[in-house]
Amino acid sequence: MIQKYKSKESLNLAIAKNTNCNPCSQRIQKEKRSLLPNKFKILIRKCPKCGNDINYKTKWGYLGGISSGANCAPCSQRGKKLSEITKNKMSEFQKGRTTSAETKCKMRESATGKIMSSEARKKISKAVRNRGPISDDTRRKLSENNGKYWLGKHPKVTNETRRKLRISAIKRISKAKFNGNQVIPAYNISSISILEQKAKELGITDLQHAENGGEYHIKELGFWVDGYSKDKNIVIEYYEKHHSRQIEKDMKRQKEIMKFLNCEFIIIKQ
């Protein structure tokens, strides 16, 4: 179809851009609109690389993603390497980064759900102003202390606190996922025959384990034991190879159980 232009400039521009005529342009736009889902639905497209959903806020972004065949953000970023200049810039940005007094107040209000008084805001502002920059040595100490806390070695976390945390976690999981029923811990299937063989050697006939009444649960401590005999008051534990990396933790657990049950504690190592 012949397309007419009013000026020579418009004709040269159309030739340079290789544009279509008006009917063809309208037809292409209709075809693109037909690809859009219903307006009441969310604009979602599958990533061609990983198959995950990509959400779009506008129809134009959705159409652009279809025409370009773009991947999702994680797939687009995967495999990219940062230059040394970019790494240095990010490092310098993080070193000079400080949290303002206003941000601290907002964080505290959102965490507690209470609006802070003007006097409390002034105290925080004064503390932030007098704090000064944090040295590299202080950063290292803070990081070490944080690591010790998460590893369970922080001096302020007592055994009594850990016991309460275990019990509350078990109650929370039971209420949320198991409708009030007892939580059943995972167990090593191959250990059952070993526990029963040991019980036979000791003359135990009432050994309770995962496949015979379920592992004995010490509710007051928040612990389960692999095998337990009420008649002889004997606990039998089967330690796999990974227990060699948590000797200190296992010793504390053993002492707590022996003190509470006043029992004999037998360990079978893999």
More confident residue, 105 or 248: 248
More confident residue, 202 or 144: 202
Question: Could you read off the pLDDT of 51-101 as tens digits, one per residue?
Answer: 888 888 777 788 888 888 888 887 877 767 777 777 777 776 666 666 677
Question: Could you read off the pLDDT of 5-42 as tens digits, one per residue?
Answer: 778 777 787 788 788 887 787 787 777 666 665 554 56
Single residue among 56, 77, 98 that ends a domain in this structure: 77
Residues 174 and 247 in one domain: no
In a domain, 72, yes or no: yes
pLDDT confidence bin for 183, thresholds 50/70/90: low
Residues 178 and 193 in one domain: no
Residues 71 and 41 in one domain: yes
Cα–Cα distance measured from residue 153 to residue 61, given in angstroms and rounded to the nearest whole number: 50
pLDDT at 150 over 80: no
In a domain, 200, yes or no: yes
pLDDT of residue 59: 76
Can you give the residue range of the structural domain that contains 190? 184-269
pLDDT of residue 257: 92
In a domain, 92, yes or no: no
Residues 195 and 257 in one domain: yes
Residues 249 and 195 in one domain: yes
Residue with tokens 């279509």: 20
Single residue among 182, 214, 246 that ends a domain in this structure: 182
pLDDT of residue 40: 45
In a domain, 47, yes or no: yes
CB 71 within 8 A of CB 49: yes
Residues 205 and 257 in one domain: yes
Single residue among 50, 77, 104 that ends a domain in this structure: 77
Q: Can you tell me the mean pLDDT for 166-185?
A: 67
Count up the domains in the chain and report the number.
3
Residues 177 and 191 in one domain: no
Residues 264 and 229 in one domain: yes
pLDDT at 176 over 80: no
More confident residue, 255 or 151: 255
In a domain, 40, yes or no: yes
Residues 188 and 172 in one domain: no
DSSP string for the chain? -----SSHHHHHHHHHHTPPPHHHHHHHHHHHHHTS--TTS-EEEE-TTT--EEEESSHHHHHHHHHHTPPPHHHHHTT----HHHHHHHHHHHHT----HHHHHHHHHHHH--PPPHHHHHHHHHHHHHH-PPPHHHHHHHHHHHHHHHTT--TTS-HHHHHHHHHHHHHHHHHHHSTTPPP-----TTHHHHHHHHHHHHT-S--BBTTBB-PEEETTTTEEESEEETTTTEEEEEE-GGGGG-HHHHHHHHHHHHHHH--EEEEEE-
pLDDT of residue 265: 93
